[in-house]
């Protein structure tokens, strides 16, 4: 899948795009000035893939039990705890609180490796 990117003018831009795409959990095939070609998981939009990646990170942070939900929302780029909770429920079927309670009660993680998505 190819994406066109405006305002790429130098090798630093190419490196930056490669880094950002990799940090988002995507695999880069090629990056040229103005264009990035990515390897995608078939049948999944880039938006859903990135959301799934973010939710897996949220699960990890919830299980550490070191941060509040508002801190986790901020750290993972959500605009509010409500937005995070809604998206978490859409993806997992549970609220973050239910996820944590289920883990405490049953010891279930229900996490997916990021490279298997």
Domain ranges (residues) in the chain: 2-39, 46-116
Q: What percent of the chain has pLDDT over 70?
A: 85
Question: Helix (H, G, I), strand (E, B), or coil: what is residue 96?
Answer: helix
At 41-55, the pLDDT tens digits run 666 677 887 888 899
Distance CA 89, CA 82 (A): 11
Q: CATH number for 46-116: choose from 1.20.1250.20, 1.10.10.60, 3.40.50.300, 1.20.210.10.
A: 1.10.10.60
**Is residue 32 over pLDDT 90?**
no
- Using pLDDT thresholds of 50, 70 and 90, give the confidence band for residue 72: very high
For 1, the token pair is 């899948």
Q: Is 39 exposed, middle or buried (0-12, 13-18, 19+ CB in 10 A)?
A: exposed
Mean pLDDT across the chain: 83
Averaged pLDDT, 93-105: 88
- Taking the model in full, what pTM does it have? 0.62
Give the pLDDT confidence score for residue 102 in this predicted structure. 84
Which one has a higher pLDDT value, 5 or 82?
82
Q: Among residues 71, 20, 29, which one has the least CA distance to residue 50?
A: 20
Cβ pair 85, 95 in contact under 8 A = yes
């Amino acid at each position: 899948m190819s994406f066109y990117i405006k305002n790429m003018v130098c090798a630093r831009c190419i490196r930056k795009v490669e880094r950002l795409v990799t940090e988002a959990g995507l695999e880069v095939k090629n990056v040229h000035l103005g264009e990035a070609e990515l390897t995608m998981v078939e049948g999944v939009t880039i938006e859903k893939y990135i959301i799934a990646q973010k939710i897996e990170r949220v699960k990890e942070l919830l299980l550490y039990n070191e941060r509040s939900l508002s801190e986790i929302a901020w750290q993972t780029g959500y605009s509010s705890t409500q937005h995070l909770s809604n998206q978490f429920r859409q993806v997992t079927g549970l609220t973050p609180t239910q996820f944590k309670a289920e883990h405490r009660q049953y010891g279930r993680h229900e996490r997916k490796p990021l490279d298997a998505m």
